Structure 1
Amino acid sequence: MEDQDRLLGELAAVVSERGLRPGDKMPPERELSGRLGVSRNTLRGLLKSLDARGVVIIKPGSGTYLRTSLAAVELPDRKSPRAVADQLKAAFLFLPPILCKALQTSSATQIDDLHACNIALSQAMCSGNPHEIWAEIVLFFRVIVRGTGNSFLAETVERIFSIDPAFVARFFQADREALDDIFAGHVSILQTLRERNHGRISVLTGQYLLSLCRALESGGFSVWDPVSDDKPAAGTYEE
Protein backbone atom coordinates (compact mmCIF):
# COMPACT_ATOMS: atom_id res chain seq x y z
CA MET A 1 0.00 0.00 0.00
CA GLU A 2 2.83 2.36 0.86
CA ASP A 3 4.45 1.75 -2.55
CA GLN A 4 1.19 2.50 -4.35
CA ASP A 5 0.74 5.70 -2.37
CA ARG A 6 4.32 6.70 -3.16
CA LEU A 7 3.88 6.05 -6.88
CA LEU A 8 0.63 7.99 -6.97
CA GLY A 9 2.26 10.90 -5.14
CA GLU A 10 5.24 10.96 -7.51
CA LEU A 11 2.95 10.72 -10.53
CA ALA A 12 0.93 13.66 -9.20
CA ALA A 13 4.20 15.58 -8.79
CA VAL A 14 5.07 14.96 -12.44
CA VAL A 15 1.63 16.19 -13.49
CA SER A 16 2.02 19.32 -11.36
CA GLU A 17 5.54 20.07 -12.60
CA ARG A 18 4.44 19.78 -16.21
CA GLY A 19 1.36 21.90 -15.59
CA LEU A 20 -0.81 19.19 -17.13
CA ARG A 21 -4.55 19.78 -17.23
CA PRO A 22 -7.48 17.47 -18.00
CA GLY A 23 -7.24 16.45 -21.64
CA ASP A 24 -3.44 16.75 -21.77
CA LYS A 25 -1.29 13.78 -22.73
CA MET A 26 0.84 12.18 -20.02
CA PRO A 27 4.59 11.65 -20.59
CA PRO A 28 5.57 8.40 -22.35
CA GLU A 29 5.72 5.16 -20.33
CA ARG A 30 9.50 4.91 -20.67
CA GLU A 31 9.96 8.38 -19.19
CA LEU A 32 7.42 7.90 -16.40
CA SER A 33 8.77 4.49 -15.35
CA GLY A 34 12.28 5.97 -15.15
CA ARG A 35 11.07 8.95 -13.13
CA LEU A 36 9.14 6.74 -10.70
CA GLY A 37 11.88 4.10 -10.53
CA VAL A 38 9.62 1.17 -11.44
CA SER A 39 9.25 -1.28 -14.30
CA ARG A 40 6.93 -0.45 -17.17
CA ASN A 41 4.65 -3.34 -16.10
CA THR A 42 4.27 -1.81 -12.63
CA LEU A 43 3.56 1.58 -14.17
CA ARG A 44 0.97 0.07 -16.50
CA GLY A 45 -0.78 -1.54 -13.55
CA LEU A 46 -1.08 1.84 -11.83
CA LEU A 47 -2.28 3.56 -15.00
CA LYS A 48 -4.87 0.83 -15.66
CA SER A 49 -6.18 1.27 -12.13
CA LEU A 50 -6.47 5.03 -12.68
CA ASP A 51 -8.08 4.46 -16.08
CA ALA A 52 -10.72 2.20 -14.53
CA ARG A 53 -11.50 4.90 -11.97
CA GLY A 54 -11.88 7.60 -14.60
CA VAL A 55 -8.77 9.56 -13.57
CA VAL A 56 -6.89 8.99 -16.83
CA ILE A 57 -7.87 7.49 -20.17
CA ILE A 58 -5.59 5.05 -21.98
CA LYS A 59 -5.84 5.26 -25.77
CA PRO A 60 -4.06 2.29 -27.39
CA GLY A 61 -1.57 3.47 -29.96
CA SER A 62 -1.82 7.06 -28.77
CA GLY A 63 -0.94 7.27 -25.08
CA THR A 64 -2.43 8.09 -21.69
CA TYR A 65 -4.40 11.29 -21.15
CA LEU A 66 -5.33 13.06 -17.92
CA ARG A 67 -9.08 13.23 -17.25
CA THR A 68 -9.15 14.77 -13.76
CA SER A 69 -6.87 15.80 -10.90
CA LEU A 70 -4.74 13.19 -9.17
CA ALA A 71 -4.74 15.14 -5.91
CA ALA A 72 -7.91 13.65 -4.43
CA VAL A 73 -7.31 10.04 -5.52
CA GLU A 74 -7.20 7.55 -2.65
CA LEU A 75 -6.12 3.98 -3.27
CA PRO A 76 -7.99 1.27 -1.33
CA ASP A 77 -6.35 -0.72 1.45
CA ARG A 78 -5.50 -3.88 -0.46
CA LYS A 79 -3.57 -5.81 2.20
CA SER A 80 -5.88 -5.94 5.21
CA PRO A 81 -7.63 -9.35 5.44
CA ARG A 82 -10.75 -7.58 6.67
CA ALA A 83 -10.63 -5.22 3.67
CA VAL A 84 -10.21 -8.12 1.24
CA ALA A 85 -13.09 -10.02 2.85
CA ASP A 86 -15.28 -6.91 2.61
CA GLN A 87 -14.37 -6.52 -1.08
CA LEU A 88 -15.34 -10.10 -1.89
CA LYS A 89 -18.57 -9.95 0.10
CA ALA A 90 -19.47 -6.71 -1.69
CA ALA A 91 -18.82 -8.47 -4.98
CA PHE A 92 -21.85 -10.70 -4.37
CA LEU A 93 -23.99 -7.54 -4.23
CA PHE A 94 -22.47 -5.50 -7.04
CA LEU A 95 -20.93 -7.82 -9.63
CA PRO A 96 -24.11 -9.63 -10.79
CA PRO A 97 -25.98 -6.42 -11.77
CA ILE A 98 -22.81 -5.04 -13.37
CA LEU A 99 -22.57 -8.13 -15.56
CA CYS A 100 -26.28 -7.83 -16.35
CA LYS A 101 -25.55 -4.34 -17.67
CA ALA A 102 -22.53 -5.61 -19.60
CA LEU A 103 -24.70 -8.27 -21.18
CA GLN A 104 -26.85 -5.54 -22.73
CA THR A 105 -23.89 -3.75 -24.28
CA SER A 106 -21.50 -6.56 -25.25
CA SER A 107 -20.12 -6.49 -28.80
CA ALA A 108 -18.52 -9.05 -31.09
CA THR A 109 -15.13 -7.39 -30.59
CA GLN A 110 -15.51 -7.56 -26.82
CA ILE A 111 -16.46 -11.25 -27.00
CA ASP A 112 -13.29 -11.91 -29.01
CA ASP A 113 -11.24 -10.01 -26.43
CA LEU A 114 -12.78 -12.05 -23.61
CA HIS A 115 -12.02 -15.27 -25.48
CA ALA A 116 -8.38 -14.15 -25.70
CA CYS A 117 -8.48 -13.41 -21.95
CA ASN A 118 -9.60 -16.96 -21.25
CA ILE A 119 -6.79 -18.39 -23.34
CA ALA A 120 -4.31 -16.28 -21.37
CA LEU A 121 -5.93 -17.41 -18.10
CA SER A 122 -5.57 -21.05 -19.13
CA GLN A 123 -1.88 -20.49 -19.83
CA ALA A 124 -1.41 -18.73 -16.48
CA MET A 125 -3.09 -21.62 -14.69
CA CYS A 126 -0.69 -24.04 -16.35
CA SER A 127 2.21 -21.97 -15.02
CA GLY A 128 0.77 -22.14 -11.50
CA ASN A 129 1.85 -18.57 -10.74
CA PRO A 130 -0.82 -17.00 -8.48
CA HIS A 131 0.12 -13.46 -9.57
CA GLU A 132 -0.36 -14.31 -13.24
CA ILE A 133 -3.63 -16.12 -12.56
CA TRP A 134 -5.04 -13.21 -10.55
CA ALA A 135 -3.90 -10.69 -13.17
CA GLU A 136 -5.76 -12.57 -15.91
CA ILE A 137 -8.89 -12.86 -13.74
CA VAL A 138 -8.87 -9.10 -13.17
CA LEU A 139 -8.28 -8.38 -16.86
CA PHE A 140 -11.28 -10.53 -17.82
CA PHE A 141 -13.62 -8.40 -15.71
CA ARG A 142 -11.98 -5.15 -16.79
CA VAL A 143 -12.75 -6.05 -20.40
CA ILE A 144 -16.34 -6.92 -19.49
CA VAL A 145 -17.06 -3.66 -17.67
CA ARG A 146 -15.23 -1.57 -20.27
CA GLY A 147 -18.03 -2.41 -22.69
CA THR A 148 -20.60 -0.67 -20.51
CA GLY A 149 -18.93 2.70 -21.07
CA ASN A 150 -19.72 3.54 -17.44
CA SER A 151 -16.72 4.83 -15.46
CA PHE A 152 -18.46 4.35 -12.09
CA LEU A 153 -19.07 0.66 -12.81
CA ALA A 154 -15.48 0.34 -14.01
CA GLU A 155 -14.22 1.84 -10.75
CA THR A 156 -16.44 -0.53 -8.76
CA VAL A 157 -14.97 -3.55 -10.54
CA GLU A 158 -11.47 -2.16 -10.00
CA ARG A 159 -12.06 -1.82 -6.26
CA ILE A 160 -13.57 -5.31 -6.00
CA PHE A 161 -10.54 -6.97 -7.57
CA SER A 162 -7.82 -4.57 -6.33
CA ILE A 163 -6.05 -6.96 -3.97
CA ASP A 164 -2.40 -6.58 -3.04
CA PRO A 165 -0.06 -9.01 -4.88
CA ALA A 166 1.54 -10.06 -1.59
CA PHE A 167 -1.89 -11.09 -0.28
CA VAL A 168 -2.62 -13.03 -3.47
CA ALA A 169 0.72 -14.86 -3.25
CA ARG A 170 0.07 -15.79 0.37
CA PHE A 171 -3.50 -17.06 0.14
CA PHE A 172 -4.34 -17.73 -3.50
CA GLN A 173 -2.87 -21.25 -3.55
CA ALA A 174 -5.64 -22.89 -5.50
CA ASP A 175 -5.54 -26.62 -6.13
CA ARG A 176 -6.35 -28.12 -9.52
CA GLU A 177 -10.04 -28.59 -8.73
CA ALA A 178 -10.42 -24.98 -7.58
CA LEU A 179 -8.66 -23.71 -10.70
CA ASP A 180 -10.92 -25.85 -12.89
CA ASP A 181 -13.99 -24.33 -11.20
CA ILE A 182 -12.69 -20.80 -11.76
CA PHE A 183 -11.88 -21.44 -15.40
CA ALA A 184 -15.26 -23.10 -15.97
CA GLY A 185 -16.86 -19.96 -14.52
CA HIS A 186 -15.02 -17.77 -17.01
CA VAL A 187 -16.11 -19.97 -19.90
CA SER A 188 -19.73 -19.98 -18.72
CA ILE A 189 -19.82 -16.21 -18.22
CA LEU A 190 -18.37 -15.66 -21.69
CA GLN A 191 -20.92 -17.99 -23.26
CA THR A 192 -23.75 -16.26 -21.43
CA LEU A 193 -22.57 -12.86 -22.66
CA ARG A 194 -22.35 -14.24 -26.18
CA GLU A 195 -25.92 -15.58 -25.96
CA ARG A 196 -27.19 -12.49 -24.07
CA ASN A 197 -28.86 -14.88 -21.64
CA HIS A 198 -30.31 -12.58 -18.96
CA GLY A 199 -31.76 -15.47 -16.99
CA ARG A 200 -28.40 -17.09 -16.23
CA ILE A 201 -25.90 -14.28 -15.75
CA SER A 202 -26.67 -13.47 -12.09
CA VAL A 203 -26.63 -17.13 -11.05
CA LEU A 204 -23.37 -17.81 -12.89
CA THR A 205 -21.73 -14.74 -11.37
CA GLY A 206 -22.67 -15.88 -7.86
CA GLN A 207 -21.36 -19.39 -8.52
CA TYR A 208 -18.14 -17.93 -9.87
CA LEU A 209 -17.58 -15.74 -6.80
CA LEU A 210 -18.11 -18.74 -4.55
CA SER A 211 -15.39 -20.59 -6.48
CA LEU A 212 -13.02 -17.65 -5.93
CA CYS A 213 -13.77 -17.70 -2.20
CA ARG A 214 -13.09 -21.45 -2.07
CA ALA A 215 -9.76 -20.92 -3.83
CA LEU A 216 -8.72 -18.36 -1.19
CA GLU A 217 -9.96 -20.61 1.59
CA SER A 218 -7.76 -23.43 0.26
CA GLY A 219 -4.83 -21.15 1.10
CA GLY A 220 -6.05 -20.61 4.65
CA PHE A 221 -7.98 -17.35 4.25
CA SER A 222 -11.60 -17.26 5.41
CA VAL A 223 -13.86 -14.76 3.67
CA TRP A 224 -16.77 -15.41 5.99
CA ASP A 225 -16.94 -14.71 9.72
CA PRO A 226 -18.53 -17.86 11.19
CA VAL A 227 -20.29 -15.82 13.87
CA SER A 228 -21.56 -12.66 12.22
CA ASP A 229 -21.58 -13.23 8.45
CA ASP A 230 -24.39 -14.63 6.34
CA LYS A 231 -22.53 -16.83 3.88
CA PRO A 232 -24.62 -17.65 0.78
CA ALA A 233 -26.27 -21.03 1.24
CA ALA A 234 -25.09 -23.86 -0.98
CA GLY A 235 -28.24 -23.76 -3.06
CA THR A 236 -28.45 -19.99 -3.43
CA TYR A 237 -27.01 -19.97 -6.92
CA GLU A 238 -28.42 -23.23 -8.23
CA GLU A 239 -30.18 -22.98 -11.57
Structure 2
Amino acid sequence: MPVYPTSATEEISAALGAMGAGSASSAVAKRLLELFTEESISPGTRLPPERQLAASLAVGRSAVREALAALEILGVVDVRPGSGTYLRGNASELLPQTLSWGMMLSRTRTAELAEVRGALETYAARLATERMSDESIEVMRTHVDEMRASSADFARFVEADLQFHLELARSTDNTVLLDLLQSIRSLLRVWSDRAVQDDDHARQAIEEHAAVYEAIAARDPDAAAAAMAAHMRTAAVRLAGTVQTHAED
Protein backbone atom coordinates (compact mmCIF):
# COMPACT_ATOMS: atom_id res chain seq x y z
CA MET A 1 0.00 0.00 0.00
CA PRO A 2 1.26 3.50 -0.81
CA VAL A 3 2.62 5.86 1.82
CA TYR A 4 1.54 9.47 1.33
CA PRO A 5 3.91 12.32 2.18
CA THR A 6 2.59 15.33 4.09
CA SER A 7 2.07 17.35 0.90
CA ALA A 8 0.53 14.55 -1.20
CA THR A 9 -2.94 16.03 -1.57
CA GLU A 10 -3.34 14.80 -5.14
CA GLU A 11 -2.77 11.17 -4.17
CA ILE A 12 -5.28 11.36 -1.33
CA SER A 13 -7.89 12.99 -3.54
CA ALA A 14 -7.42 10.35 -6.22
CA ALA A 15 -7.74 7.54 -3.68
CA LEU A 16 -11.07 8.84 -2.36
CA GLY A 17 -13.09 8.70 -5.55
CA ALA A 18 -16.55 10.17 -6.14
CA MET A 19 -19.42 9.28 -3.82
CA GLY A 20 -22.17 10.94 -5.80
CA ALA A 21 -24.18 14.07 -5.14
CA GLY A 22 -26.34 14.11 -2.03
CA SER A 23 -24.11 11.94 0.13
CA ALA A 24 -24.50 12.89 3.81
CA SER A 25 -21.65 14.19 5.92
CA SER A 26 -21.73 10.97 7.94
CA ALA A 27 -20.98 9.01 4.75
CA VAL A 28 -18.14 11.40 3.93
CA ALA A 29 -16.66 10.88 7.40
CA LYS A 30 -16.97 7.12 7.00
CA ARG A 31 -15.23 7.26 3.60
CA LEU A 32 -12.38 9.32 5.04
CA LEU A 33 -12.00 6.85 7.91
CA GLU A 34 -11.86 3.98 5.43
CA LEU A 35 -9.07 5.75 3.58
CA PHE A 36 -7.14 6.43 6.80
CA THR A 37 -7.40 2.81 7.96
CA GLU A 38 -6.92 1.07 4.61
CA GLU A 39 -4.01 3.15 3.31
CA SER A 40 -0.66 3.76 5.01
CA ILE A 41 -1.02 7.50 5.53
CA SER A 42 1.57 8.85 7.91
CA PRO A 43 0.58 10.78 11.06
CA GLY A 44 0.92 14.49 10.41
CA THR A 45 -0.16 14.19 6.78
CA ARG A 46 -1.97 17.32 5.62
CA LEU A 47 -5.28 16.52 3.94
CA PRO A 48 -6.44 18.21 0.76
CA PRO A 49 -8.43 21.44 1.31
CA GLU A 50 -12.22 21.26 1.65
CA ARG A 51 -12.82 22.35 -1.93
CA GLN A 52 -10.57 19.61 -3.30
CA LEU A 53 -12.06 16.93 -1.06
CA ALA A 54 -15.56 17.97 -2.10
CA ALA A 55 -14.60 17.77 -5.77
CA SER A 56 -12.96 14.35 -5.34
CA LEU A 57 -15.97 12.93 -3.50
CA ALA A 58 -18.51 14.75 -5.69
CA VAL A 59 -20.32 16.21 -2.66
CA GLY A 60 -21.00 19.68 -1.34
CA ARG A 61 -18.41 21.49 0.77
CA SER A 62 -20.83 21.59 3.71
CA ALA A 63 -20.80 17.76 3.89
CA VAL A 64 -16.99 17.76 3.94
CA ARG A 65 -16.92 20.50 6.59
CA GLU A 66 -19.31 18.56 8.87
CA ALA A 67 -17.36 15.34 8.38
CA LEU A 68 -14.05 16.98 9.31
CA ALA A 69 -15.68 18.59 12.36
CA ALA A 70 -16.87 15.16 13.51
CA LEU A 71 -13.43 13.62 13.00
CA GLU A 72 -11.82 16.48 14.91
CA ILE A 73 -14.15 15.95 17.88
CA LEU A 74 -13.15 12.28 17.92
CA GLY A 75 -9.45 13.19 17.78
CA VAL A 76 -8.76 11.70 14.36
CA VAL A 77 -7.76 14.92 12.63
CA ASP A 78 -6.42 18.29 13.75
CA VAL A 79 -7.98 21.33 12.05
CA ARG A 80 -5.55 24.26 12.14
CA PRO A 81 -7.08 27.56 10.98
CA GLY A 82 -5.02 29.13 8.24
CA SER A 83 -2.90 26.00 7.82
CA GLY A 84 -5.10 23.02 6.98
CA THR A 85 -6.36 19.71 8.35
CA TYR A 86 -3.86 17.06 9.48
CA LEU A 87 -4.13 13.40 10.39
CA ARG A 88 -3.24 13.13 14.08
CA GLY A 89 -2.12 9.51 14.13
CA ASN A 90 -2.97 6.02 12.98
CA ALA A 91 -6.76 6.14 12.63
CA SER A 92 -7.20 2.49 13.56
CA GLU A 93 -5.70 3.30 16.94
CA LEU A 94 -7.31 6.71 17.36
CA LEU A 95 -10.88 5.57 16.69
CA PRO A 96 -11.96 2.35 18.42
CA GLN A 97 -14.76 0.51 16.70
CA THR A 98 -16.90 0.93 19.81
CA LEU A 99 -17.03 4.67 19.03
CA SER A 100 -16.99 4.76 15.25
CA TRP A 101 -20.41 3.20 14.69
CA GLY A 102 -22.25 5.88 16.62
CA MET A 103 -21.10 8.89 14.62
CA MET A 104 -20.39 7.55 11.20
CA LEU A 105 -23.41 5.52 10.20
CA SER A 106 -26.99 6.34 9.32
CA ARG A 107 -29.44 8.95 10.54
CA THR A 108 -31.32 6.08 12.22
CA ARG A 109 -28.25 5.14 14.25
CA THR A 110 -27.81 8.75 15.34
CA ALA A 111 -31.43 8.78 16.56
CA GLU A 112 -30.83 5.56 18.46
CA LEU A 113 -27.76 7.05 20.11
CA ALA A 114 -29.80 10.09 21.16
CA GLU A 115 -32.39 7.74 22.63
CA VAL A 116 -29.73 6.02 24.76
CA ARG A 117 -28.43 9.39 25.89
CA GLY A 118 -31.95 10.38 26.96
CA ALA A 119 -32.29 7.33 29.18
CA LEU A 120 -28.87 7.87 30.76
CA GLU A 121 -29.42 11.61 31.33
CA THR A 122 -32.78 10.87 32.97
CA TYR A 123 -31.21 8.35 35.31
CA ALA A 124 -28.34 10.75 36.01
CA ALA A 125 -30.80 13.49 36.98
CA ARG A 126 -32.47 11.19 39.51
CA LEU A 127 -29.14 10.04 40.94
CA ALA A 128 -27.67 13.55 41.08
CA THR A 129 -30.70 14.84 42.98
CA GLU A 130 -29.88 12.43 45.77
CA ARG A 131 -26.11 13.00 45.73
CA MET A 132 -25.42 16.54 44.56
CA SER A 133 -23.85 18.99 47.01
CA ASP A 134 -25.36 22.40 47.67
CA GLU A 135 -22.31 23.92 45.99
CA SER A 136 -22.92 21.94 42.79
CA ILE A 137 -26.57 22.96 42.77
CA GLU A 138 -25.45 26.58 42.89
CA VAL A 139 -23.06 25.92 39.99
CA MET A 140 -25.95 24.52 37.95
CA ARG A 141 -27.96 27.67 38.67
CA THR A 142 -25.14 29.80 37.27
CA HIS A 143 -25.14 27.72 34.08
CA VAL A 144 -28.89 28.30 33.64
CA ASP A 145 -28.32 32.03 34.23
CA GLU A 146 -25.54 31.99 31.64
CA MET A 147 -27.87 30.35 29.11
CA ARG A 148 -30.42 33.11 29.70
CA ALA A 149 -27.77 35.82 29.33
CA SER A 150 -26.26 34.37 26.16
CA SER A 151 -29.27 33.21 24.14
CA ALA A 152 -28.14 35.54 21.35
CA ASP A 153 -24.53 34.32 21.52
CA PHE A 154 -24.51 30.80 20.09
CA ALA A 155 -21.04 29.78 21.31
CA ARG A 156 -21.67 30.92 24.91
CA PHE A 157 -25.11 29.34 24.94
CA VAL A 158 -23.83 25.96 23.78
CA GLU A 159 -20.98 26.03 26.31
CA ALA A 160 -23.34 26.85 29.20
CA ASP A 161 -25.63 23.99 28.10
CA LEU A 162 -22.66 21.61 27.99
CA GLN A 163 -21.40 22.67 31.43
CA PHE A 164 -24.87 22.20 32.94
CA HIS A 165 -24.98 18.58 31.82
CA LEU A 166 -21.36 17.93 32.82
CA GLU A 167 -21.98 19.26 36.34
CA LEU A 168 -25.01 17.03 36.67
CA ALA A 169 -23.13 13.96 35.41
CA ARG A 170 -20.18 14.57 37.73
CA SER A 171 -22.55 14.89 40.66
CA THR A 172 -23.83 11.34 40.23
CA ASP A 173 -20.52 10.12 41.74
CA ASN A 174 -20.66 7.32 39.17
CA THR A 175 -17.58 7.27 36.95
CA VAL A 176 -19.01 4.74 34.49
CA LEU A 177 -22.15 6.80 33.98
CA LEU A 178 -20.08 9.97 33.58
CA ASP A 179 -17.81 8.35 30.99
CA LEU A 180 -20.74 6.95 29.01
CA LEU A 181 -22.48 10.30 28.92
CA GLN A 182 -19.33 12.12 27.87
CA SER A 183 -18.66 9.62 25.08
CA ILE A 184 -22.20 9.81 23.73
CA ARG A 185 -22.30 13.58 24.02
CA SER A 186 -19.03 13.82 22.08
CA LEU A 187 -20.38 11.60 19.33
CA LEU A 188 -23.55 13.68 19.01
CA ARG A 189 -21.98 17.08 19.54
CA VAL A 190 -21.39 17.84 15.86
CA TRP A 191 -25.20 17.76 15.52
CA SER A 192 -26.41 18.88 18.95
CA ASP A 193 -24.30 22.06 18.85
CA ARG A 194 -26.43 23.10 15.85
CA ALA A 195 -29.80 21.99 17.20
CA VAL A 196 -30.75 25.31 18.83
CA GLN A 197 -31.26 27.44 15.74
CA ASP A 198 -33.57 30.30 16.71
CA ASP A 199 -34.97 32.29 19.64
CA ASP A 200 -37.90 29.92 20.17
CA HIS A 201 -35.59 26.91 20.43
CA ALA A 202 -33.32 28.81 22.82
CA ARG A 203 -36.22 29.84 25.07
CA GLN A 204 -37.53 26.29 25.15
CA ALA A 205 -34.10 24.88 26.01
CA ILE A 206 -33.68 27.44 28.82
CA GLU A 207 -37.07 26.57 30.29
CA GLU A 208 -36.27 22.86 30.17
CA HIS A 209 -32.89 23.29 31.90
CA ALA A 210 -34.47 25.57 34.52
CA ALA A 211 -37.11 22.90 35.25
CA VAL A 212 -34.38 20.29 35.81
CA TYR A 213 -32.44 22.66 38.05
CA GLU A 214 -35.49 23.60 40.12
CA ALA A 215 -36.41 19.94 40.71
CA ILE A 216 -32.87 19.10 41.76
CA ALA A 217 -32.70 22.17 44.04
CA ALA A 218 -35.93 20.97 45.65
CA ARG A 219 -34.34 17.54 46.15
CA ASP A 220 -37.19 15.86 44.26
CA PRO A 221 -35.73 12.96 42.26
CA ASP A 222 -39.03 12.03 40.56
CA ALA A 223 -39.55 15.60 39.34
CA ALA A 224 -35.93 15.87 38.25
CA ALA A 225 -36.16 12.67 36.23
CA ALA A 226 -39.45 13.77 34.66
CA ALA A 227 -38.05 17.20 33.76
CA MET A 228 -34.94 15.68 32.21
CA ALA A 229 -36.97 13.12 30.27
CA ALA A 230 -39.10 15.93 28.84
CA HIS A 231 -35.96 17.87 27.91
CA MET A 232 -34.43 14.84 26.21
CA ARG A 233 -37.58 14.27 24.15
CA THR A 234 -37.63 17.78 22.72
CA ALA A 235 -33.83 17.78 22.33
CA ALA A 236 -34.11 14.59 20.28
CA VAL A 237 -36.68 16.25 18.01
CA ARG A 238 -34.40 19.26 17.50
CA LEU A 239 -31.46 16.97 16.83
CA ALA A 240 -33.40 14.93 14.27
CA GLY A 241 -34.34 18.13 12.45
CA THR A 242 -30.72 19.25 12.34
CA VAL A 243 -29.48 15.91 11.00
CA GLN A 244 -32.22 15.91 8.36
CA THR A 245 -31.34 19.44 7.25
CA HIS A 246 -27.65 18.64 6.82
CA ALA A 247 -28.37 15.33 5.11
CA GLU A 248 -30.23 17.28 2.43
CA ASP A 249 -27.37 19.78 1.85
**TM-score (normalised: structure 1):** 0.56
CA contact 1:79–1:167 (8 Å) conserved in 2: no
Counterparts of 2:199 and 2:119, CA distance in 1: 28
Number of aligned residue pairs: give it: 161
More helix by share: 2
Please point out which of 192, 213, 219 is paired with 2:236. Answer: 213
2:174 to 144, 150, 154: 150
3-state secondary structure, aligned to 1:145: helix
Partner of 1:137: helix, strand, or coil? helix
- Which residue pairs with 1:172 in the alignment? 195
Give the structure 2 partner of residue 160 of structure 1.
184
Q: Give yes or no for the alignment of 1:185 onto 2:208.
A: yes
Structure number with bigger Rg:
2
Q: Given the superposition, is the C-alpha separation of residues 149 and 165 from structure 1 closer, same or farther in structure 2, using an over 3 Å criterion?
A: closer
Report % sequence identity.
11
Q: Tell me, yes or no, if the aligned pair for 2:148 and 2:206 is still in contact at 8 Å.
A: yes
Matches within 5 A, 1:26-175: 75=99, 77-78=102-103, 80=105, 81-127=107-153, 129=154, 131-163=155-187, 166-168=190-192, 171-175=194-198
Q: How much has 1:173 moved relative to structure 2?
A: 4.6
The structure-2 alpha-carbon separation of the partners of 1:196 and 1:99, relative to structure 1 and needing over 3 Å to count, comes to same
CA contact (8 A) 2:147 2:160 kept: yes
1:6 aligned onto 2:30: no
Equivalent position SS for 2:200: helix
User: Would the aligned equivalents of 1:78 and 1:163 in 2 still touch at CA under 8 Å?
Assistant: yes
Instruction: Provide, for residues 79-101 of structure 1, a one-character-per-residue CA deviation record: whole Å limited to 9, x for no partner.
Output: 54344312211123222122111
Asked if 2 retains the 8 angstrom alpha-carbon contact of 1:178 and 1:211, the reply is no
Relative to 1, partners in 2 of residues 1:165 and 1:208: Cα closer, same or farther, differing over 3 Å?
closer
Residue type of the alignment partner of 1:2: L
Structure 1 gaps of 5+ residues are: 8-35, 40-69, 223-239
Unpaired stretches in structure 2, ≥5 consecutive residues = 1-69, 82-93
- The AA in structure 1 aligned to 2:170 is R
Matches within 5 A, 1:212-231: 212-219=235-242, 221=244
**Is the Cα contact below 8 Å between 1:189 and 1:204 reproduced in 2?**
yes
TM-score w.r.t. the length of structure 2 is 0.54
**Residues 146-168 of structure 1 deviation map (CA, whole Å, 9 limit, x = unaligned):** 11221101012213322455434
Q: CA deviation at 1:221?
A: 3.1
CA–CA distance in 2 between the matches of 1:219 and 1:197? 33
Structural mapping, 1:14-25, within 5 Å: none
CA displacement at 1:120 relative to structure 2: 2.1
Deviation at 1:201, TM superposition (A): 1.8
Q: Which residue type is aligned with residue 213 of structure 2?
A: L
State the superposition RMSD in angstroms: 3.1
Secondary structure of the equivalent of 1:5? coil
